[in-house]
Amino acid sequence: MSHHFEKLPIALDVTHLEPNVTQEMIAARQPLIETVDAELRSGKCRGSGFTGWLKAEEIMTDSDRARLKKTAERLSNETDVLLVIGIGGSYLGARAVIEALADDPNKVVYAGQNISAHYMTRLRQQLHGKRVAINVISKSGTTTEPAIAFRVLKDLAGVEARSRIVVTTDAKKGALRQLAQKEGYEAFVVPDNVGGRYSVLSAVGLLPIAYTGIDVDSLIKGAGDCAQLCATTNNPLENPAYFYAVARNVLYKQGFCIEILASFEPRLHYLAEWWKQLFGESEGKENMALYPASVDFTTDLHSMGQYIQEGRRILMETFLIVDEDEPSLKIPAGDDTDELGYLTGKEVRYVNRKAYEATARAHRDGGVPNLSIVLKNLSPYSMGALIYFFEIACAISGLMLGVNPFDQPGVEAYKKVMFQLLGKPGFEKLESTIHEPRYVNF
């Protein structure tokens, strides 16, 4: 059983969902889907102030996008590498697209996503002697990890810093906005009505993406076409993103508690990292939701594959498959001591495809219901459609659970304790008790 949607470069293969998920079960959720869809689109849902991503082609004006592309082209011509400083949604979406599509993804490097002295020191060594542009991304400008990285690494822009540092931040206020005005840095806007994990199609993601030469207009067009389809019908049997959201909900209600996103294409590794943030941060509230995990196949079939096949039956699996677009690479003849004679002349992509088909079937036989999201190819257009597919599915899925899919109050918990431990003014007295470390001596 598969669903093809002619207007999108996306198809769903749901053969291995049955008997856990059937079309009848999907159709039975239609009243709930109609309710949450109406709430989302009317601006009456929880967190409605952060639904500016819904109209993908309107997140940025045409003039702002033109300025962004011009800046990206200038920086690309004047420098060797772009250092993106940000954390979470401020960098993961861009990295997902760049790693999947860029001819040379190494033109962009990243900092501010950790506080590792070793990482930053090695990055400085890596960039020594190169012409470096910097895009620092933070709505407030005070998020600890990127703020530290910017202090430590901004000298890499050299004497041309004024023209090589670009900030993406709040339109009117905040530390970065003030710094941009003071130093004369070019600035782009983090939209007020778009949360970080939904922001890849705003200036947050588009500037680094455009720096690598990826066609951001085509990316936006793919997202816009997916948005149009999803706005046309809320019937999950006709809307791929809603089908996916409902299937996850059905399995969750049956007691499945972990969703694994699996791909057989290494270029999609960071797409899975972005997906984990999107669903984990959006749904993981009030002691609910599927836990989002990811694996890279066939690599992880030789490690995590054992657990998936025979471990606790708490897993559902979503395969992300690219249908076309792999280069021709045939397996040559040999002396057959490796027992590969039967594959002589076969395309590597053919073998990879059969590995996927075998895995989906074996995991279903082992008690892991799974579905496949099949992309026609890896192009800016299809990637834009996929990004929006996951964003709208996540919003609908979270609203079906009854949580606010657009806030992240739990993210603040560690920050408050960390600020107290670091002695940040204003955080001297907190309800959280600071425990002295207790070591066991061996």
Instruction: Please list the active-site residues.
Output: 281, 302, 415
**Tokens standing for 32?**
């709930």
Strand order in the sheet with 315-322: 2-4, 10-13, 370-375, 315-322, 258-263, 291-296
CA distance 208 to 105: 10
Query: Is residue 166 classed as helix, strand or coil in its secondary structure?
Result: strand
Let me know: does 74 contact 241? Beta carbons within 8 Å.
no
**Which pairs with CB-CB distance under 8 Å and at least 24 residues apart come from 285-288?**
285/403, 285/404, 285/409, 285/410, 286/402, 286/403, 288/401, 288/402, 288/403
Strand partners, 3: 12
Query: Which whole-number Å values give the CA distances from 61 to 154, 202, 207, 404, in the listed order?
Result: 29, 10, 14, 28
**Cα-to-chain-centroid distance, residue 149:** 22
The helix (H) or strand (E) run that includes residue 42 is helix 30-42
The contacts of residue 224 (CB under 8 Å, 6+ apart) are 56, 57, 384, 388
Strand partners, 111: 85
CA distance 375 to 392: 17
The contacts of residue 245 (CB under 8 Å, 6+ apart) are 33, 236, 393, 394, 396, 397, 400
CA distance 147 to 165: 14
Q: Which of 402, 403, 394, 389 is nearest to 3 (CA)?
A: 389
Residue 166 main-chain phi, psi, to 5 deg:
-125, 135
Strand partners, 10: 375
